[in-house]
Amino acid sequence: MNKTISVLVFTLIAIVSVTLAATPDEWGSRTIYQLLTDRFSQTVNNSQPCGNLQGYCGGTFQGVEAHLDYIQGMGFDAIWISPVVTNTPGGYHGYWQQDIYTVNEYFGSEDDLLNMIKACHERGIWVMLDVVANHVGPVNYDYSTIVPFDSDEYYHNCTTCPQYCTIDDFTNYPQVEECRLSGLPDLDQDNQFVRSTLQAWIKNMTAFYQFDGIRIDTVPEVKVDFWREYNDAAGVYAVGEVYNGNLTYVASFQGPVDGVLSYPMFFTLRSVFGQQQSMNQIQSTFQSYQQLFSNISLLGTFIDNHDQVRFLNEQTDIELYKNAIAYVLMAQGIPIIYYGTEQGFNGASDPNNREPLWTTSFNTNTPLYQFIATINAFRANITEDLTESQIQRYSDNTFYAFTRGNAFVALTNGGSNQGQTSRTITYHPYLEGTTICNIFYPTEDCIKVVGGSFTVYLDNGESKIYYPLN
C-alpha cells in the first residue's frame, strides 16, 4: 500500500475508534508485568539461548499471546510491551524508531499486534505501550530514511551542545532538552510539524490499537509543556521515565504526565535490600514522597527493569529479593515486575539484563513465580484495602512494617543468615482480640492482638504479609 494512503487510512480508522482505556485512578489497582517483546517468547519456541543479545532474538506478538496463561498465572492484570514501530537496524528494544507509521516486522504484523491486544482484553489484561517522542534511531545526520521526520529542520541544531552534540551534563537542563542522548538525533518539539505529528500519532495509536496506557521514554529530555499536550492527546494513563534520584526533580514531572517511574524509591530499595543499608531510608524516602508528589498511587514502583543491572546480579540472597518484591507489590503505587524476575534472572548491565525467557520453558514452579502469584492473588482479594494510603507502622535499621488498609506487611533486610528476629507492634489498625494470619502460611502462622499489641517473628530473612481472619 502507498505510504501516504496507509497513513491516511490509519488516521481515519483511529478517528472513528473509541478507546476502552481506563482512567489513571483505575490503573492504580493494576499490577504490571514488563516484558521486552523480542525477549519474551518466540512464535515457536526452542530452549536455546540467544546468540547475540545486542540484536534481535526472535520474540513476537504471537509469542506473547501464546503465553498469556503464564503471565496471568502470576496474577498480573496488565503488561507493558516494547515500542512497536519500525526501528533502524539493530533496534530490537524498540527505542530506535525509523518509521512511526509501520509496525516492526520482527515482532509481527499489524494484525498480530491487534490480535494480541484483543486476547489480552478478553482476559481482563490491560496493555501499556512504550513510546518514544524524544529521538529517532542512530542515523547520524542523514535523516532521509526517517519517516516522517526526514529533514534536519525537525531536529535540534546542537548550537548549545558540547562536542558531538551529545549530552554530557545531566544537571544542565537546557542541554538535556536540546542535545543528543547517546548520540541519538534529538527531535525539536518546538517545530510545529514535529509537535503536531507526534501528538496526532499517539492519539491515533491508542485509539486504533486500543492501548490502555503508555509508558513514555526519556521524559526530561523534552520540555514539559509538550508532555502535557502529549498526555492529553493520548487519552490514556501515562507513566514517564525520569531516570534520576533527585526527589524534587522527579516529582516536578508529575502533572505534565499522570505519573512517573519511582526511581528515587528504586535507588532506596536497592540500597536497603541490595546493600543491606538501614531500612530507615524507606521511611525517609516515603516521607519525602508524601510531601512532594501530588498522587503517590499513580507512580510506577519497581526493583528491576531493562536499564538496570538485575538485583540478583549484585545481591544473590533470594530472601532479600523477596522482601524487595513484597515491598513493590504491596506499597502505595502501581507495581511493575520485570520479566524474568520470577525465574531468578541475574543478568548484568544492558544487554545482559535482557535475557530470553523461553530458555526457562516458562516454568511456573519456581519459588519466585509462586511468591509473586501468592501476593498478586492476595491483592486481587483486597481491592478496597489497596485504595488506602501506605501507613508506616515500624521502622529501624533491619525491620520495616507498613499497612495498606488492614493488610500488614513486615519486611527485613537481615538476609537468609539472620536467624530469627522479632518486633512488638503497638501502632496498628486492629481491634483488641483480632487474629491476623500470614498469607504464605494462613493456617500455621496467626497472631492475636492482646493488650493492644502483637509480636511479629521473621525467620531467616523472610517477609510476611498479615491479614485479619474473617
Residues in the annotated binding site for substrate: 54, 96, 135, 215, 245, 307, 354
Q: Can 444 be counted among the known catalytic residues?
A: no
What letter would DSSP give residue 170?
A: T
The cell for 339 is: 520479566
Q: Is 342 a catalytic residue?
A: no
Please check whether residue 279 is in contact with residue 272, taking contact to mean a CB–CB distance below 8 angstroms: yes
Q: How far apart are CA 357 and CA 142, in angstroms?
A: 36
**Residue 51: left (phi > 0), alpha (psi -120 to 50), or beta?**
alpha
Q: Which residues are annotated as a binding site?
A: 54, 96, 135, 215, 245, 307, 354
Rounded to 10 deg, the angle between the 192-209 and 110-122 helix axes is: 50
- The number of helices, as runs of H, and strands, as runs of E, in the chain is 15, 18
Q: In what order do the strands lie in the sheet with 399-404?
A: 390-395, 399-404, 407-412, 464-468, 435-438, 446-448
Query: Please, what is the angle between helix 224-234 and helix 192-209, to 10°?
Result: 30
User: Which residue in 241, 304, 355, 462 is the catalytic one?
Assistant: 241
Half-sphere exposure of 468 (CA within 13 A, CB side): 14
Q: Compute the distance between CA of residue 407 and CA of residue 73 in angstroms, rounded to an integer.
A: 22
Decide: helix, strand or coil at residue 180: strand
Give the CA angle between residues 208, 144, 54 to the nearest 5°.
75
Rounded distance between C-alpha atoms, residue 26 and residue 39, angstroms: 29
E runs forming strands in 149-292: 213-216, 237-240, 259-260
Catalytic one of 65, 77, 177, 217: 217
Known catalytic residues are 217, 241
